[in-house]
Amino acid sequence: MGNGHHSKTAIAVKDKGVTGVMLQSGPFPSPEVMEALERLNPGSVERVLRMAEREQESFHDFAKKQQSIDFMTANRMTRFPFLGMWLGFILCMASLIIGAALIYLGHEIGGYASLFVSIGVMVKSLLFPPPRPTSK
């Protein structure tokens, strides 16, 4: 039942006053049930087979789409961390430059605050990197 192709079916059988239950698992009923079904309703076995083929085709289409989505997600997961690293680097460098400019212009408190925060963020990033995503 895990892959979408198998189903469990309970069929009540009444023959000569005896009632029983038959449990079956798989994409099709058992050959005996298929034979009885065809006798009762000619052409029904062909419809069951077509239905099973459509179900399998649908499942394969879904699996292909899921693989495509998984590939695109994996591609993004490897590309975006580098973008984040570059943006973080640019922000830290801009903060360092702004801090140095503030100190030069006589705003020591703001300048030193900007420098210390920038350096602190860089040290934190080096000592405690974010966890890497793990593959399933």
**Tens-digit pLDDT string for the chain (136 aa):** 444 444 454 555 555 555 666 676 666 777 888 888 888 888 888 888 888 888 888 888 888 888 888 777 777 666 666 777 788 889 889 999 999 999 999 999 999 999 999 899 888 888 887 777 665 5
Cα–Cα distance between 135 and 73 in angstroms, integer? 11
Q: Where are the beta strands (DSSP E) in the chain?
A: 7-15, 18-26
The secondary structure of residue 2, as a DSSP letter, is T
In sequence order, what are the beta bridge partners of 20?
13
Report pLDDT for 78: 67
Contact in structure between 34 and 47 (CB atoms under 8 Å): no
Taking CA atoms, 123 is separated from 12, 82, 126, 133, in Å, by 72, 18, 5, 22
Alpha helices in 105-135 (DSSP H): 108-127
Taking CA atoms, 47 is separated from 6, 26, 50, in Å, by 17, 17, 5
Contact in structure between 23 and 9 (CB atoms under 8 Å): yes
Contact in structure between 45 and 38 (CB atoms under 8 Å): yes
Report pLDDT for 111: 92
- Residues near 112 by beta carbon (within 8 Å), at least 6 away in sequence: 99, 103
- Residues near 19 by beta carbon (within 8 Å), at least 6 away in sequence: 12, 13
